[in-house]
Amino acid sequence: MKIAKTKTNPNNIMSLIDLDNQNPNVYKKSDDRTITLDEQDDNVVDEFDRREIFDLIRNINDPEHPLTLEQLHVVEEHLIQINNANNNILVQFTPTIPHCSMATLIGLSIRVKLLKCLPERFKVRVQVTPGTHNSEHQVNKQLGDKERVAAALENHHLIQVINQCIAPRKRA
Amino acid sequence: MEFNYILNQLENGTEETFKTNCLLISTGIREGKSTILELIESLGRFLTDASISKRELGISILNEVLKSIPIDYLSTQQLEVLVEFYSSKFNDHHQIFPVALSGTLVLLGFENFPRPKLSHILSAIFQHVPCQQQQRVDRFTIFQILEICIKNFKQEVHDMENVFVCGLHDAVDGERDPRNLLFLLKWMREFTKEFKLYFFTEKIFDALASYFPVDFRTPLNDNSITREDLANALCPCLCANPEFGDSCISLALEKLDSSLEIAKLDSLALLREGCSTFKSSLYMEQFPNIWPLIQKEVLCTNSPTIRTESFLTLQKIVSKISTEDCLGHIKNIIDTVKGNLLPDSKLFQVSTQILICTAAASEKSCNFIVKEILPIIMNIYKMCAYVDHKSLIVQPLVDLMKEYFKYNKSLDDQEVPDLLNVPLLCLDLLKNDDTLKIGLDYITVLIPHLDSKNRETLYSEIQRIMFKIINEQTMLSLIQLLITCAGYYPEEVKCKIFTIDSQSHLPDAFLRSLAHLVTLQNFKDYVISTYLELLKKNVQSETVMKHLRYLVEQQRDNYDLLRELIEKNVLCCIYDSYVNSQFFETNISQDVYTIMTLLVALQPSEFQSKILGDYFERIFLQEMNEKTFIILYGLTAALRREVQLDKRVFEVALKISETSNNEFLVHIAVQLLGNLVNKIEDVKEFLSSCKIITTQKSFQRACFITKGLILRNYPDGYGWLHLSVRIECLKCLTLFTTVYPEMLLLPYKSKVLKQLAVCVDDKKRLVRKEAMEARAFWWMVGENV
């Protein structure tokens, strides 16, 4: 299993391995989307847009830090491309440091989250932003391989870690 | 017909071809192409072969062929030959037994079976086949053969005398397989009951008794046979033959004395079952042994089941011996428990239960116990100083009375003068607040038997109690008492209790019980007029409405009564009283519209139109306020379809649903709207006037309108599944995951996720957002996080 590089007890994942990036930059969270009049009219059809996809993944937790991917600028709205007509979505994400060993796990979390939330008609690709990771090609290949993703999701330990990352937060 | 060819095939063939080939032969025989004789001749070389397995094959071919021949096809003569043949096979090698047994079973099914030959073949089996040394399946075949003999060959079995009984005993004795045993027990009862057992009575009983009490635990993966199945089948077998009596009761008593709970329960059941076949003299004789054991169980056990079963058994046995001179035994029971009859004794309750259960057994026992025990309890009551003790003492007394009245009509008994004092004790309890409820309950039992003097006292007590403030439980007891009382003495109750001057303030209990009495013919007019008068005078109208609502709800299908109420102008009285009341209160408003809705609902459409005509003018004459709107709702909520409605009703409902700040009113208004949408002719026009912006109120309205539309199957109904309706539903789904335990959610997980997969592609982004959120939460149900 190539994807699950660290075969550790997921509950102790923080204590067992050294943090790759101990001091990441933390950015501000974007505001909630404002609701337009058109959105309230039941007769108008709303297309999927990049903000909608962004809203889905921005709250995913970083596996290492108690921060969201948005706060670390791992995902950004302008790095999402969506084509409603062709049912295509491309999400690019930026690891905090070029040698980040968590890159695959983060990519996998994004993919799983979108897989679970989006309609089946969309074909979702998740990639590392070009030039931001040492083994960019390898990570992209792993994330793009359907078989490997499916196999990874059968892994009990791995799915537990991913679930921790994408677990929805209860609203007050 | 070419047998040899088929037989050769059979010899070398596989399991699958075996049946088809046999069927081929039997079809040939049935169609007359060949005879059974020819078959046997051709089979000859198998049947006489030196190899056992060849002989076995030969017989199984014959079995298979016989199975598929019609049961009336073979003649007695032919069958005689076959019986002779099969009988001789039991002399053969033991490996042949299984096929020979199944062949015998098939033969017994033929219509022309040669009856005189039965003993011949059975003797052969009994003599040569040791049943308990055979495989389970073969034992089962033997039991099937025996069952058929017992059911279809009664005379022949009789004629075999003790040979059959002996053979059966040997075959059955020691059976260990639960499936076989259950099958066996099913017909053993018939056998032991109908056939003479000769000197095997004891042996057969012992064979059966060895299973008692059944100790069998169903294997976990097998839910076919339970211990109870076996126990329930065994018990009737042990009691089937009157000659089993002595041994059976000794067996039950021996096992009752053990410490195992199932042994006790089975023994009690056995003692009860025995009552149906054994002689009463036997129980008389054994009673001195039975009573101490039952007494021990009742007084000492911790298990409520054993206690109840013991009571049942005691009652059954006492009832059984009541045909004999049993008073000595009952005296014995009384003497045993008499010492416990003090209210602070730990065993007081159980002891009284024993007495009551004995009294319930028969008239003889009941009268005897009343005569013996009543004076004792009366004495204790007199000596008793504490109030709570008093009620404790009166309870068994009343229970005893219940039994007593099953056999006696009056309390007037020369032998037991104390009987007349029982009502006095109950009336005494009414004087104290702590024992009031119990007193009311007890006196309700005694009502049919009260003499006029006691009734006078009771009526004045009731009048007094009505003015007291009592709790809900007591109130219910009081009402029950009044209903019973009014059923037996309608006139008296009317003039002695319901005479309170209507000028004065009427107690709640009074008004409340009226609602229950309306079904009694003598009371109907009185109830209606009392309620109406109060409404007209506008006194205590809130209480009246509350009880009137109860009345109407209880009588919602009683068309005549509802019609009478309307004709006596109830609607008008409610209208006036309600509109003139000072405040707008939710409770009263609910009462008002419920009464009105139920009154109107059952009427025919012309009459409904007439009612509407009468009231609409009054309602719309003045400015619409909360109260008139409630009345409007009450009148229109349950109309028939044909009734034409004034357009103004929509306008009012629509306006209130939009403008009112009172949640209750808005709720009523939207319900009315939904209701109207379901019925009116011109829905389109109506919908166009109310399809407007999303607000919290209009959400509620949309729900009800949508419901109305969908219920009438309106083509555009689902289009009304408003944006906000969808959003709220999804929010609700999300909320489920946080409030309910996973255990409850899991069964729905896949169904919900499947449905949500559609919702996440909704045309509205706001809906999608909620759907995605809901999906994210539902994915996590049952997942390890």
Contact (CB, 8 A) for A125 and A89: yes
Alpha-carbon gap: B676 to the closest alpha carbon of chain A (Å): 24
Q: Cα dist. B45→B41, B58, B64 in Å?
A: 8, 9, 18
* CA separation for the pair B334, B354 (Å, rounded): 9
In a domain, B577, yes or no: no
User: Listing from the earlier edge strand, what are the strands of the sheet with A75-83?
Assistant: A75-83, A88-93, A123-128
Contact (CB, 8 A) for B207 and B169: yes
User: Among partner residues A40, A113, A167, which is closest to B694 by beta-carbon distance?
Assistant: A40
Whether residue B699 lies within 8 A of chain A, CB to CB, comes out as no
Q: Is the pLDDT of residue A7 over 50?
A: no
Q: How many domains does chain B have?
A: 1
Q: What is the reported pLDDT for A168?
A: 81
Q: What is the reported pLDDT for B437?
A: 86
Q: Cα dist. B303→B298, B348, B623 in Å?
A: 9, 18, 70
Sign, CA torsion B498/B502/B504/B509: positive
User: Among partner residues A39, A118, A166, which is closest to B764 by beta-carbon distance?
Assistant: A39
* Most B-contacting residue of A44, A117, A163, A164 (CB-CB within 10 A), to test interface: A117
Q: Cα dist. B592→A168, B425, B586 in Å?
A: 48, 44, 10
Residues 6 or more apart whose CB falls under 8 angstroms from that of B701 comprise B657, B669, B670, B673, B674, B690
Q: Across residues B585-599, what is the average pLDDT?
A: 89
Helix (H) or strand (E) holding B172: helix B162-172
Collapsed DSSP state (helix, strand, coil) of residue B615: helix
**Contact list, A40 vs chain B (CB under 8 Å):** 694, 723, 766
Which residues, in sequence order, are bridge partners of residue A127? A92
Which of B506-520, B579-593, B668-682 is the least confident region? B668-682
Question: How does pLDDT run across B653-681, given as a tens digit for each residue?
Answer: 888 877 888 888 888 888 887 777 777 76
Q: Is the pLDDT of residue B754 over 80?
A: yes
The pLDDT-based confidence of A9 (bands split at 50, 70, 90) is very low
Q: Is the pLDDT of residue B427 over 60?
A: yes
The burial class, CB within 10 Å (0-12 / 13-18 / 19+), for B280 is middle
C-alpha angle B92/B98/B100, rounded to 5°? 60
Q: What is the reported pLDDT for A110?
A: 93
The token pair at A114 is 């979108």
Q: Is the pLDDT of residue B65 over 50?
A: yes
Q: What is the reported pLDDT for B713?
A: 59
Q: Which residues of A touch B (CB under 8 A)?
A: 35, 39-40, 42, 45-46, 48, 52, 55-56, 113, 116-121, 159-160, 163-164, 166-168, 170
Eight-class DSSP state of B243? G
CA neighbor of B669 nearest in space, from B620, B708, B630, B695: B630
Q: What is the reported pLDDT for B496?
A: 80
**Contact list, B780 vs chain A (CB under 8 Å):** 163, 167-168
Q: What is the reported pLDDT for B160?
A: 87
Q: Is the pLDDT of residue A161 over 80?
A: yes
Per-residue exposure over B322-349, b if at least 16 CB sit within 10 Å of its own CB, e if not:
bebebeebbeebbeebeebbebeeebbe
Please tell me the total number of residues recorded for chain A in this structure: 172
C-alpha angle B575/B577/B583, rounded to 5°? 105
Give the residue from chain B lying closest to A38, CA to CA. B764
**Domain locations in chain A as residue ranges:** 26-166
CB–CB of A160 and B785 under 8 A?
A: yes
Q: How many CB atoms lie within 10 A of CB B675?
A: 21
Q: What is the reported pLDDT for A42?
A: 77
Helix (H) or strand (E) holding A141: helix A136-144
Most confident of A14-18, B123-127, B379-383: B123-127
Question: How does pLDDT run across B620-656, given as a tens digit for each residue?
Answer: 887 778 888 888 888 888 888 788 877 788 888 888 8
Contact (CB, 8 A) for B734 and B777: yes
Which of A29-38, B392-401, B499-508 is the least confident region? B499-508
Contact (CB, 8 A) for B506 and B527: no
Q: Which of B499 and B712 is assigned the larger pLDDT?
A: B499
Collapsed DSSP state (helix, strand, coil) of residue A93: strand
Q: What are phi and psi of B511, to 5 degrees?
A: -65, -35
* CA separation for the pair B507, B18 (Å, rounded): 90
CA neighbor of B445 nearest in space, from B478, B401, B502, B415: B401
Question: How does pLDDT run across A75-95, given as a tens digit for each residue?
Answer: 999 999 999 889 999 999 999
Whether residue B731 lies within 8 A of chain A, CB to CB, comes out as no
**Contact list, B784 vs chain A (CB under 8 Å):** 160, 163
Task: Considering only CA atoms, give the Rg of chain A.
Answer: 16
Whether residue B780 lies within 8 A of chain A, CB to CB, comes out as yes
Residues 6 or more apart whose CB falls under 8 angstroms from that of B774 comprise B730, B731, B733, B734, B752, B756, B759
The pLDDT-based confidence of B508 (bands split at 50, 70, 90) is confident
Q: What is the reported pLDDT for B430?
A: 84
DSSP B373-439: HHHHHHHHHHH---HHHHHHHHHHHHHHHHHHHHH-S-S--SS-GGGGGHHHHHHHHHTSGGGHHHH
Q: How many CB pairs under 8 A join A and B?
A: 53
**Contact list, B764 vs chain A (CB under 8 Å):** 39, 42, 45-46
The token pair at B473 is 């439980």
Helix (H) or strand (E) holding A171: none
Q: Across residues B361-379, what is the average pLDDT?
A: 89
Question: How does pLDDT run across B522-558, given as a tens digit for each residue?
Answer: 888 888 888 888 888 887 888 888 999 999 898 888 8
In a domain, B210, yes or no: no
The CATH number of domain A26-166, selected from 2.60.120.330, 3.30.300.130, 3.40.50.920, 3.40.50.880: 3.30.300.130
Which residues, in sequence order, are bridge partners of residue A75? A93
Q: List for chain A the helix, strand, coil content (%; round to 5).
A: 35, 15, 50
CA neighbor of B518 nearest in space, from B539, B547, B540: B547
Q: What is the reported pLDDT for A1?
A: 37
Q: What is the reported pLDDT for B526?
A: 85
User: Among partner residues B764, B769, B785, which is closest to A164 by beta-carbon distance?
Assistant: B785
- Note the Cα A48 to chain centre separation in Å: 18
Most confident of B215-219, B571-575, B679-683: B571-575
Which ipTM value was assigned to this complex? 0.86
Q: Is the pLDDT of residue B431 over 80?
A: yes
Q: In terms of DSSP H, where are the helices of B302-362? A: 304-321, 327-338, 348-359
Q: Cα dist. A167→A13, A54, A57, A62, A126 in Å?
A: 17, 16, 11, 12, 19
Q: Which of B524 and A15 is assigned the larger pLDDT?
A: B524
Q: Kindly compute the dihedral angle of the four CA atoms of residues A17, A21, A22, A28, in this order, to the nearest 10 degrees.
A: -130
Q: What is the reported pLDDT for B2?
A: 63
CA neighbor of B23 nearest in space, from B53, B58, B55, B67: B67
* CA separation for the pair B54, B50 (Å, rounded): 8
Range of the domain at B347: 286-408
Side chain identity at residue B717, one-letter code: G
Q: Across residues B377-386, what is the average pLDDT?
A: 84
* CA separation for the pair A144, A127 (Å, rounded): 8
Contact (CB, 8 A) for B564 and B557: no
Q: What is the reported pLDDT for B320?
A: 92
Q: Is the pLDDT of residue A15 over 60?
A: no
Q: What is the reported pLDDT for A11?
A: 45
Average of per-residue pLDDT values in chain B: 85
CB–CB of B785 and A167 under 8 A?
A: yes
For a pLDDT cut of 70, what percent of chain B falls above it? 93
Q: Kindly compute the dihedral angle of the four CA atoms of residues B671, B676, B679, B685, in this order, to the nearest 10 degrees.
A: -130
Question: How does pLDDT run across A94-120, given as a tens digit for each residue?
Answer: 998 888 888 999 999 999 999 889 998
The token pair at B205 is 């009983």
Residues 6 or more apart whose CB falls under 8 angstroms from that of B637 comprise B593, B596, B597, B671, B672, B675
Contact (CB, 8 A) for B142 and B101: yes
The pLDDT-based confidence of A13 (bands split at 50, 70, 90) is very low
Taking only residues 705 to 724 of chain B, the set having a beta carbon closer than 8 angstroms to any beta carbon of chain A reads 722-723
The burial class, CB within 10 Å (0-12 / 13-18 / 19+), for B16 is exposed
DSSP B640-667: -TT----HHHHHHHHHHHHH---HHHHH
Contact (CB, 8 A) for B370 and B378: no
The burial class, CB within 10 Å (0-12 / 13-18 / 19+), for B152 is middle
**Angle of the B304-321 helix axis to the B261-274 helix axis, nearest 10:** 20
Question: How does pLDDT run across A111-158, given as a tens digit for each residue?
Answer: 999 988 999 899 999 999 998 998 899 999 989 888 888 888 888 888
User: Among partner residues A46, A119, A168, which is closest to B760 by beta-carbon distance?
Assistant: A119
* Most B-contacting residue of A32, A40, A43, A116 (CB-CB within 10 A), to test interface: A116
Contact (CB, 8 A) for B418 and B374: yes
Question: How does pLDDT run across B758-772, given as a tens digit for each residue?
Answer: 889 988 898 999 999
Per-residue exposure over B719-736, b if at least 16 CB sit within 10 Å of its own CB, e if not:
ebbbbbbbbbbbeebbeb
CB–CB of A39 and B766 under 8 A?
A: yes
Question: How does pLDDT run across B244-272, given as a tens digit for each residue?
Answer: 989 999 999 999 998 888 899 999 999 99
Q: In terms of DSSP H, where are the helices of B467-540? A: 472-488, 490-496, 508-517, 521-537
**Angle of the B663-679 helix axis to the B647-659 helix axis, nearest 10:** 150
Residues 6 or more apart whose CB falls under 8 angstroms from that of B406 comprise B363, B366
* CA separation for the pair B38, B3 (Å, rounded): 8
* CA separation for the pair B685, B677 (Å, rounded): 11
Q: Across residues B402-407, what is the average pLDDT?
A: 86
Q: What is the reported pLDDT for B729?
A: 78
